[in-house]
Structure 1
Amino acid sequence: MRGVDYGHHGADCTFETILRRHDLDDPVLWRIAAIVHEADLEDERYDAPEAPGLDVVLRALSMTSDDETVLALSAPVFDGLYEYYRRSLILGTDTPT
């Protein structure tokens, strides 16, 4: 929505806007932000092959559930993504074991 604090600003999606506004420099959050950006904007700004899958999952949930339920169901997905990429960063690999 135009004119809101948290929304698309410039070339950023809402997730990136939130990270910038709160000076969050966690590289794991920024990795997830790249995926969310591509899922939302599909502008190929980032190499995020996970984006189409995340987009389908979130859109499908929104077609069958209200916002509160979508948030409840998607929170563990984002928590899992965070842990996956956190371990990848620690191990210096693309896929943690």
Structure 2
Amino acid sequence: MKWITRERVKVDRVACPWLIKKFVDPDAEFLFVPPDQVMETAAQAGAIPYDVKGVELGHHGKECSFEAILKTYTLTNDLALVLLGKIVNGADTDNTLWNQPESAGLKAIAEGFRHLGFKDDNAQNAAEWIVYDALYAYCREMIRQGKPNGEFK
């Protein structure tokens, strides 16, 4: 399946493809286009839009797109993914929903990746996914230790 969002990825638009590829659609293909072309290109390409205004897999209230994907694809039974969603939310928003301490570090890392000069958003995603692999491992360990809100709360 094809999935589409806005170009110039940062937090949610890296976390969402990671989540989709790992837990929803292992054969996913991602398209990144200018914001004003997302819906038209989605219709033409038969792609599922995410992290754009007004779509099912977008921000709703203070929840981010990663959290919408967790709910839509019934992934909330994985408590490590739920914790990761809180961290992603805080890095992608004003962090007032969950006040997740780990979010500040993720936000800084995501900003740093934007300045490494990747040729396009797909290349940046490929490089940055190791961060989400590591964060997911951290979240799994926190759940194992009985800390569903992470180490620092």
Asked if Structure 1 and Structure 2 have the same fold, meaning a TM-score greater than 0.5 normalized by the shorter chain, the answer is yes
* Cα RMSD after superposing both structures: 1.8
> How many pairs does the alignment contain?
95
Residue 29 of structure 1, aligned match among 75, 78, 81: 81
Cα distance in 2 for partners of 1:36, 1:50 equals 9
1:45 match:
97
1:19 match:
70
How far residue 40 of structure 1 moved from its aligned partner, in angstroms, is 0.8
Q: Whose Rg is larger? A: 2
Unaligned runs of 5+ in 1: none
Unaligned runs of 5+ in 2: 1-51
Identity percentage of aligned residues: 34
1:90 match:
144
Q: TM-score, normalised by structure 1?
A: 0.83
Relative to structure 1, is the Cα distance of residues 86 and 4 closer, same or farther in structure 2, using a 3 angstrom cutoff?
Answer: same
Q: TM-score, normalised by structure 2?
A: 0.56
Cα distance in 1 for partners of 2:53, 2:131 equals 28
Name which of structure 1's ranges 44-53 and 3-12 shifts more when overlaid on structure 2.
Answer: 3-12
Cα distance in 2 for partners of 1:43, 1:77 equals 19
Residue-by-residue CA offset, 1:59-92 (whole Å, 9 max, x unaligned): 2212332211221122111111111221222133
Of Structure 1 and Structure 2, which has the larger fraction of its residues in helix? 1
Contact 2:87 / 2:102 at 8 angstroms: preserved in 1?
yes
1:62 match:
114
Cα distance in 1 for partners of 2:139, 2:56 equals 28
Q: What is the one-letter code of the residue matched to 1:20?
A: K
Cα distance in 1 for partners of 2:138, 2:85 equals 14
Cα distance in 2 for partners of 1:79, 1:43 equals 22
Cα distance in 2 for partners of 1:42, 1:30 equals 18
Q: What is the one-letter code of the residue matched to 1:41?
A: T
Q: What is the one-letter code of the residue matched to 1:18?
A: I
2:59 is aligned with 1:8: yes
Indicate the structure whose relative CO is greater, using CA pairs within 8 Å and at least 6 residues apart: 2
